[in-house]
Amino acid sequence: MDLLRSQTSQKILIFGLFSGAFILFTGAVGMIAAFHEREVVDRFISLGQLLLLMAPFVTAYYVSRQLSDFDEGKAPLLISGVIIGLMTALPSIILLLFNADEYRFLLDICLRVIPFVAASLVAWRMHRAGAETQTALGIWLMIAFLVGIVTFSFALIFEIKGDLRTVLVNIDRDWVEVVTFDNRNDLMRGIGTLGLVSMAAGLAGSLLYLMPAVPRRALVYGLSVTVLVGAFGETVRLVLQENLDRDTLREIFRRDTLRQNAALALFVISTAAGFLWAMYGSQARARFGDMKTSQRRTVNIIGLVLFVIFMLMLPWLIGRTLSDVAVTIGIFVLMGLGLNIAIGLAGLLDLGYLTNYAVGAYILAVLTSIGPLGLFKGTFTFWMVIPLALLAAMFAGFIFAVPVLRMRGDYLAIATLGFGEIIGKLAISDWLKPLIGGAQGVQAIPKPIFLGAELKNPEQLYYIVLVASLVTLFVSIRLNNSRTGRQWMAIREDEDVATAMGIDTARAKLLAFTLSAATGGVAGAIFAAKVGTVFPNSFTVFISINVLSLIIVGGIASNPGIVVGAIVLIGMPELLREFSDFRFLMYGALLILMMIKRPQGLIPSKIVTHEIRTGVKPALAAAE
């Protein structure tokens, strides 16, 4: 067993340290303590503790997968899992020691010793380097300098304040309580527990990798379902509330937390389901693949009908709060599908999409409001104004497209960004105040009335969004397969060559901008009707950025991808509300991770997949 072979051991150490740094960082920003408040399973494990376990677990699994290339048998993999667990816990353990009054002298010693260690390290390197290049020496000097500076500043702060806690404010009692697994009063026991639990999690990660595929998949499925339901207990409870009576609900939840029995039952059921799917799923897919085209179509139609029924029943299933989230998601789906015409189909990076949204919202507000700013005081209804909002947004899209027709790529993006800003400033300006109310906005926008009934709840507004999205979806699929779609495709690939093919690029781009703007106007109008008031604060550049991100995360030019992207990027932050500001941290981390691990998006379109790994296979042809 030569686990110490440099490449393997390096990998284990690096990933272990990485996972340790992750835990330290999340602790230092206060995430662990905040997550501890949310219990995943009642009186068993909190989300904060789960985070402590997940880091070594996932890292060990990932490293085992990488190490299995070296083919050294099972024992080294298990040992690597344990080492990773230890490495994960190590930084937190050190910090725990530094933090405790009786061991503070350790920190004192460290702060005085580290500069010497760094200096000797450099001396040793210089001695060894000898013939090595000067650059290498320079880098080492730099590292030594940085280490020296950092330790020196810590030492200084320590001398002055006498306490690290004033520097790392989140390394507080709560944090200590979580990482020691409630052994705050007996530090050694706490450190031991942390180390052991972390190592066990690492070991479990490696073990999971060594399992046969079917039970592994079943287990992963069961675990993730249980954890997700537990973590989103509040939301799940809201959904179940609609469909279960109080007593049953009380059996499952204690307030918002999953009870232990319920969690166990959920885990068993979902693991069993995962097991069945892992065993027979591929068979089912194979059988579907063997079917005749007509049969396959029948299955597809049945699936589609079930899906439509599900979509129609959704508000009834999920209740008011989540319906509200669903409407917001739907508004962004609408905008995503619209912007996708410009970005995904025609390749025009438009960062001013907010313009269309604002135009739609203000048109509806001004025309239908029964407040002082309403122009017609109720003469116009929601249904009459929707087409007007659509036309107005298209007109705005057209007007803004004309000056930027000759721009490409980055320059186009910056110009459109400027237009978005102009709209934002206009909305808040004194100049337009008599018309659209400046910072006060337009109020008293009536809800839509359908067949005499006022659609005032999110459950009812949901249907408007649903119908609008379906229409847009249909139009954009048809467009993509049309002659116009081909024009855009050619422009996206190469504008000059498109011209050489006889395509009028100016016209095609104008059309793309104009059509893309249309749904933005509708989305804005629905938003205005939903909220009942329109404020300029609602129209910031973040709307444009959000719509762009959901397209990229879901998958450029992929319609199902956009829906999923909207659910993830718009829905998730709504559901994560209880984690307050950390949700933006997670949002950012998710975006970065996505771009590294899955740049083609969650549900990529075929062409984009191909673009990202060029030269693999004839993607388009094979898929038809």
Residues that bind other proteins (CB under 8 A): 483, 486-487, 489-490, 493-494, 496-497, 499-505, 607, 610-611, 614-615, 618-622
CB 613 → other proteins: shortest distance, Å? 11
Residue placing its CB nearer to other proteins in the complex, 331 or 498: 498
SS3 258: strand
Of 481, 478, 265, 518, nearest in space to 388 by CA? 518
Residue placing its CB nearer to other proteins in the complex, 478 or 617: 617
CB 621 → other proteins: shortest distance, Å? 3
Distances (CA, A) of 42 to 46, 233, 268, 444: 8, 11, 17, 45
Residue placing its CB nearer to other proteins in the complex, 71 or 496: 496
User: Is the dihedral angle over the CA atoms 561, 562, 563, 567 positive or is it negative?
Assistant: positive
- C-alpha to C-alpha distance for 246 and 263, rounded to whole angstroms: 18
Which H or E run includes 229?
helix 213-231
**Cβ contact 455:464 at 8 Å:** yes
Residue placing its CB nearer to other proteins in the complex, 127 or 483: 483
**Cβ contact 381:505 at 8 Å:** no
Residue placing its CB nearer to other proteins in the complex, 312 or 506: 506
Q: Where are the alpha helices (DSSP H) in 369-448?
A: 382-401, 409-428, 433-436
- C-alpha to C-alpha distance for 398 and 464, rounded to whole angstroms: 26
Residue placing its CB nearer to other proteins in the complex, 369 or 480: 480
Which H or E run includes 187?
helix 187-210
* Residue that has been written with the tokens 């329109």 in this structure: 534
CB 557 → other proteins: shortest distance, Å? 11
CB 291 → other proteins: shortest distance, Å? 24
CB 604 → other proteins: shortest distance, Å? 13
CB 504 → other proteins: shortest distance, Å? 5
List of long-range contacts for 212-219, beta carbons under 8 Å, 24+ apart: 213/278, 214/275, 214/278, 214/279, 215/275, 215/278, 217/274, 217/277, 217/278, 218/271, 218/272, 218/274, 218/275, 218/277, 218/278, 219/271, 219/274
CB 623 → other proteins: shortest distance, Å? 11
Residue placing its CB nearer to other proteins in the complex, 104 or 486: 486
Residues 6+ apart with CB under 8 A from 114: 147, 151
CB 479 → other proteins: shortest distance, Å? 16
- C-alpha to C-alpha distance for 271 and 264, rounded to whole angstroms: 10
The HSE-up count of residue 109 (CA atoms within 13 Å, CB side) is: 7
CB 293 → other proteins: shortest distance, Å? 20
Residue placing its CB nearer to other proteins in the complex, 100 or 503: 503
Residues 6+ apart with CB under 8 A from 132: none
Residue placing its CB nearer to other proteins in the complex, 493 or 581: 493
Residues 6+ apart with CB under 8 A from 273: 221, 222
CB 265 → other proteins: shortest distance, Å? 49
- To the nearest 5 percent, what fractions of the chain are helix, strand and coil? 80, 0, 20
Tokens of 376: 């017609």
**Cβ contact 571:329 at 8 Å:** yes
Residue placing its CB nearer to other proteins in the complex, 596 or 623: 623
CB 486 → other proteins: shortest distance, Å? 7
Residue placing its CB nearer to other proteins in the complex, 449 or 497: 497
